[in-house]
Structure 1
Amino acid sequence: MASTAPTEIRKLVATRASTNFREVVQVVTVPTPEPGDGELLVKNMFLGINASDINNTAGRYFSNAEYPIDTGFEALAEVVSAGPNAVYKPGQALIYLQSGAFCDYKIVKAATVVPLPAPKPEFLPFILSGNTAAISLDKVGEIKSGETVLVTAAAGGTGQIAVQWAKLAGCHVIGTCSSDEKVQFLKELGCDRPVNYTRENLKDVLTKEYPNGIDVIYETVGGDMFDTCVESLAVHGRLIVIGVIESYESKKDYVLPKALANLPSTLLVKSASVRGFFLKQFGSDIGPYMKKQVQYFSEGKLKSFVDKGEGTASGPFIGLEKVADAVEYLYTKKSKGKIIVQM
């Protein structure tokens, strides 16, 4: 059943620029907006947590941002009411990718949402994390059956999909993680060679076990990890830069990896390449790839794991007041799958 909107809604805003998410966010109350032409008023059911939530509060995406700014990027919701020319009916489950998602109700454009068969939280990883993995591996990494693919931070929200997407394409997959528990998790996803980098030296593993190098690398970490990845590229290898999570919490700007000093010669002798990926620039692929993931999930070809923080000291993540806990939890490297907050 569709819900009825209250007269006021709550949202989480950042009051100034900082990488300390908890320090600068607060819940504010505003009048409930009415959906206009082609718009929907939706009630958020689950919010997605991303490493880039800190980049947003730090002002790294909008250098001229005027604070306070809305926070959050993605949510799974249900339609409460629709404006003229908005084709969805109250009660329809959907997912959307839009700035300001950390709220209880929100106005979204009907043309930009993706309808869902049911409001399952397991669908939430697909639109941002999953699309980042699937689209980048296909369109930028150009993965092919039989190739070797390395996924860094493989047990995270986007890593879990990257591992499986590469396996679905017929690739041999290596995945990095930070614990033996995550090694087992990666094996359950089908990862051929999980590497717990707290126990094994990744560079040594790649050198000994993959002497011909790695064809495609899905890199989200930066720093020393980026250096190792560049050095491990195969002839015609492709490294996809998805993020630089190692530096997001830093008050300084991104730290340049050491490998950049020798990057031209390193790539030249291997005819290799380093390629960037930013989901916003692949907007036309978001809907189709989201639907493809939902289909694969429904067919049992793709698994989706969400982490609601049940095992954390502060308990499960429920409500806007728990968003800061969830963001900080992401940086503890203890989560498995996509971190979400239930509303």
Structure 2
Amino acid sequence: MSASCNVHRVQTHALASSSSTAPAATVQHASKLPATYKRLVAKRTGKSFKEVAEVEEVPLPQPGDNEVLIRMSYAGINGGCETFRVRGEHAFAANKAKDTYALGAEGSGIVAAVGAGVTSLAVGQAVACNSAAAFAEYGVTQAVMCTPVDEASAEAVALSLSAVTAAAALEVTAGLKEGEVVLVTAAAGGTGHFAVQLAQLAGARVVAVAGSEVKKKRLQALGLERVINYKEEDLAAVLAAEYPQGLDIVYEGVGGAVRAAIMPQLAPGGRLLQVGYISEYPHMGLDAAGSVEQGLPLSELFWGGKCFELEGGRKVIGQVWPKDVAAIRRCKRRVFQLHREGKLQAWVDESHGFKGVAQIPDAIDYMLQGGHIGKVVIPIQ
């Protein structure tokens, strides 16, 4: 399938209710559940996650129809998503008018209770989930948002959103083909390390871009065609000299000067997938490069789901999620299966040493500093 501009943003992080009024008689639950639990919420918007996030202890909710209650074991750290959530910007603008809103978007844990109508999951089952309120000891979410896994692990968290993003963007939206030249920025990051592996599995020629020698060596161990440390090498010069035919697909999550060096190397018919722009996030301050595409800042390209076709049939795609939900589900099944078969590595970073709901803001600051390798994950309990 070729890349398309007719796509819309899939909100995997829509806020879930913190409680339900479903009658307890409809719920199957584990024994010895606590009466209360701790969760991370914000009661206003502000400049940063740490400024507004606070721990509160509230009564344990019951899952409603088609919902499950999950005892969270691990939560994924998505610094960009959570930053814009607490700032009330872009997709999270409604948060400015809310008294309280939950935090977190991805996790793994054990099903502690199931509501009426749930037949796909059972109490005691390990799952990975995409839902709001993952920064909590327990969370209620729709059963359909959960993926059964062998173990509630940090790797399951990484696969549940970051790997699926890479698969959906490359394989569905961009229509990745064998033999194409695929460049991935932030290649040692939470979604980038999946993108390079999936492109490699598809028979592509993979170029990885990273910002340190430690990251470069970790990526080289995957056997990629080329790994570039853009802080030590002239990125634009390397690409022009070594890939004069251009780049067929760019999986781009950095923005700024890195993106500026890559854009001229996009081949005719090439597709640039804008999966983020971390060098221009608010934590970088006013000196961020501020990339612009067709007169539009990258923030608007990304959050607005815009798509531009440039000269030579080149496409810049700000909405990397396909509108076909069934295709996204296929991608999810595929990445979990590849991981089970040992064909797809899930790199997780817990080197920050933080644990528990109260230390999530510190883990987010760690992720935003950019030194991590793989998906930053925090144990909840």
What TM-score, normalized by structure 2, do the two folds share? 0.82
Pairs within 5 Å for 1:152-167: 152-167=185-200
Give the one of 162, 168, 172 matched to 1:139: 172
Identity of aligned residues (%): 34
Q: 1:129 & 1:33 partners in 2: Cα distance?
A: 28
Query: Structure 2 regions of 5+ residues with no counterpart?
Result: 1-29, 298-307
Alignment-derived partner of residue 114 in structure 2: 82
Contact map agreement 1:52 1:248 (CA 8 A) in 2: no
Is 1:325 the counterpart of 2:362? The answer is yes
Q: Deviations over 1:229-283 (max 9, x none)?
A: 221101111101111222222578x9741554599xx964422111123549554
Q: 2:310 & 2:116 partners in 1: Cα distance?
A: 56
Q: 2:296 & 2:58 partners in 1: Cα distance?
A: 52
2:233 match: secondary structure: coil
Q: 1:262 & 1:78 partners in 2: Cα distance?
A: 43
Q: Deviations over 1:182-215 (max 9, x none)?
A: 1111112332211111101111110111111100
Pairs within 5 Å for 1:72-151: 72-87=104-119, 88-151=121-184
Tell me the CA shift for residue 22 of structure 1. Answer: 1.1
Tell me the CA shift for residue 72 of structure 1. Answer: 0.7
1:41 match: secondary structure: strand
Change (3 A) 1:339 1:280: farther
Is 1:55 the counterpart of 2:46? The answer is no
Q: 1:329 & 1:41 partners in 2: Cα distance?
A: 29
Letter of the structure 2 residue corresponding to residue 21 of structure 1: F
Q: 2:261 & 2:149 partners in 1: Cα distance?
A: 40
- RMSD over aligned CA atoms reads 2.3
Tell me the CA shift for residue 114 of structure 1. Answer: 1.2
Is 1:297 the counterpart of 2:339? The answer is yes
Contact map agreement 2:68 2:140 (CA 8 A) in 1: yes
Tell me the CA shift for residue 19 of structure 1. Answer: 3.8
Letter of the structure 1 residue corresponding to residue 193 of structure 2: Q
Give the one of 3, 16, 34 matched to 2:62: 34
Alignment-derived partner of residue 7 in structure 2: none
Contact map agreement 1:167 1:190 (CA 8 A) in 2: no
Is 1:171 the counterpart of 2:200? The answer is no
Q: More deviation in 62-71 or 318-327?
A: 62-71
Query: Structure 1 regions of 5+ residues with no counterpart?
Result: none
Contact map agreement 1:227 1:258 (CA 8 A) in 2: no
What TM-score, normalized by structure 1, do the two folds share? 0.91
Contact map agreement 2:169 2:322 (CA 8 A) in 1: no
1:229 match: secondary structure: helix
2:316 match: secondary structure: strand
Q: Deviations over 1:287-312 (max 9, x none)?
A: 32222112111111111111012xx4
Tell me the CA shift for residue 93 of structure 1. Answer: 0.5
Letter of the structure 2 residue corresponding to residue 287 of structure 1: R
Q: 2:270 & 2:93 partners in 1: Cα distance?
A: 34
Contact map agreement 1:18 1:57 (CA 8 A) in 2: yes
